[in-house]
Amino acid sequence: MAAAANAAASSKGSLKEDLTCAICCDLFRDPVMLACMHHFCKPCISRYWRGTQGPVTCPQCRKEFSCKQFQTNYLVTAMVEKVRATTSDTYLKNLEKQLKETLENHRLRKDDFVNSIRRDKDKMETIKKLGADLQARVKGEFRALHQILQDEETCVLEQLRREQEEELEKVQHHLEAIELALRELEENMRVLQQASADTENVVVTELPQLRPCVRADIAPEFDINAFCSKYMAPMQYITWRKMFKSLKPGPSPLTFDVDTAHPSIYVSRDKTVVVECEAVIPHMGHNKRFLQCINVLAAQGFQSGRHYWEIEVGTKTKWDLGVASEAVDRHSRIKLSPESGYWTLRVRNGNEYSAGTQPWSRLQLGCSPKRVGVFLDCEERRVSFYNADDMSLLYSFTNGPRGKVFPFFSPCISDNCQKPQPIKLIHYPPVALSG
Ligand SMILES: [Zn+2]
Ligand SMILES: [Zn+2]
């Protein structure tokens, strides 16, 4: 680039030399050409020839001409104008300014590109690192699942081995008894046969001494059907159901805390169902009770680890669910948001879902979940909501709670014409096969 600029400058330099008058040593002014093809400024050659009578000479090549004669060369005139214009101070200053500006522009764009490249590379690093972290996390989760299955398989096989052993032992026991009886019997037969043979020579006066007859037990029953049926069961389904017990976090079997229930909330005897009611229930007064909003908490609070629970909302058209800090104000009307200690999902008018941010974040859900799963990760400070029917993610708070929280529920006040519908805590009953 510097070499090209130099070449351009030097070609411009030699052009400027070519267009310089040999008399005034400046760029041609009003250039004219003599018959010898040499050029001079019209004023210069006129001044040079002034006062000369008769023939004149070219100042450059000394050629003689009979008279003062020259002609205007328009092409040279135009070139001189061009060189003069492009070598003028203002032109050069302007050019220099433009150069600087263009260079500065390029420099800024280069900085932009360099920054953009750095950002892209950082982003790629972040994606790679996050991907690796998540991969490790997913592997860990599956390792735990594999372990559960492995343990379960070992357990079932061990049980089968034990039962088989017991059955074999029973038969073996009987077999040994029968074999003993058989040997005794054969021994007696031998004695009897011997005695019978002896009667031919000797007079036998009494029966020979016989061993007491061993009484063989009744053969043990082997009930093939009973033996098999436990292992011919839908084992994958049973195991899958059993896994709930070992899942971490598995569905927590929550119960409602009656002491927190607003007086217009009816809590079922087993504390797994709540429904709003018109009558005011004469609960014992309690500091923990919600007095303004139709809310209730679960009896189980969490402040570490990961927890998951499911709630059946059915076709209820209005509800709030989530978690609430232990410290929330229960005696005044509070807008539910993380700032006030609530991380909630809500529905209004049957299908208007929102996350309880301030203001509410409207969610576009493809369908209305009948069951909602809430996942609380205390360490990651994450509260996520799932459609428990297909485990699709509905919303996730990443600025979750610090400190102790309780599962939170509000059956709300239904619109007048509707029959109040309950909110139920889902419990998965245990299943049996082994262990
Ligand atoms: Zn001149
Ligand atoms: Zn000449």
DSSP string computed for 67-91? S---EE-HHHHHHHHHHHHHHSHHH
Q: What is the pLDDT of residue 1?
A: 43
CA of 87 to the centre of ligand 2 (A): 27
Nearest ligand, CA 61:
2
Nearest ligand, CA 34:
2
Q: What is the pLDDT of residue 13?
A: 65
Query: Hey, what are 348's tokens?
Result: 């209004």
CA of 17 to the centre of ligand 2 (A): 16
**HEC per residue, 197-216:** HHCCCCCCCCCCCCCCCCCC
Nearest ligand, CA 40:
1
Q: How far apart are CA 141 and CA 375, in angstroms?
A: 15
Please answer whether residues 303 and 270 qualify as being in contact, where contact means their C-beta atoms are separated by less than 8 angstroms.
no
Spell out, as residue ranges, where the chain has pLDDT lower than 70: 1-13, 203-204, 416-417, 432-435
What number of CA atoms fall less than 13 Å from residue 277's CA on the CB side? 15
Q: Which of 425, 240, 416 is nearest to 314 (CA)?
A: 425
DSSP string, 253-282: ---B-GGGS-TTEEE-TTSSEEEE-SSPP-
Question: Quick check: helix, strand or coil at residue 231?
Answer: coil
Nearest ligand, CA 35:
2
For residue 347, the cross-strand partners are: 319, 353
CA of 53 to the centre of ligand 1 (A): 21
CA of 52 to the centre of ligand 2 (A): 17
Domain 258-425 carries which CATH code?
Answer: 2.60.120.920
| CB neighbours of residue 241 within 10 Å | 16
Q: The whole model's pTM is what?
A: 0.67
CA of 64 to the centre of ligand 2 (A): 9
CA of 94 to the centre of ligand 1 (A): 28
Nearest ligand, CA 37:
2
- Residues with Cβ within 8 Å of 174's Cβ and at least 6 positions away in sequence, in order, are 216, 217, 219, 220
- Residues with Cβ within 8 Å of 388's Cβ and at least 6 positions away in sequence, in order, are 310, 369, 371, 372, 373, 426
- 251 upstream amide cis, omega within 30 of 0: no
Nearest ligand, CA 36:
2
Please answer whether residues 423 and 274 qualify as being in contact, where contact means their C-beta atoms are separated by less than 8 angstroms.
yes
CA of 51 to the centre of ligand 1 (A): 18
Please answer whether residues 272 and 298 qualify as being in contact, where contact means their C-beta atoms are separated by less than 8 angstroms.
no
User: For residue 17, what is the enclosing H or E element?
Assistant: helix 2-18
User: 127-137 burial, b for 16+ CB within 10 Å, e for fewer?
Assistant: eeeeeeeeeee
CA of 31 to the centre of ligand 1 (A): 8
Domain 10-86 carries which CATH code?
Answer: 3.30.40.10
Nearest ligand, CA 62:
2
Q: How far apart are CA 209 and CA 250, in angstroms?
A: 73
CA of 58 to the centre of ligand 2 (A): 5
* 232, amino acid identity: M
Q: What is the pLDDT of residue 2?
A: 47
Nearest ligand, CA 38:
2
Q: Of how many residues is the chain composed?
A: 435
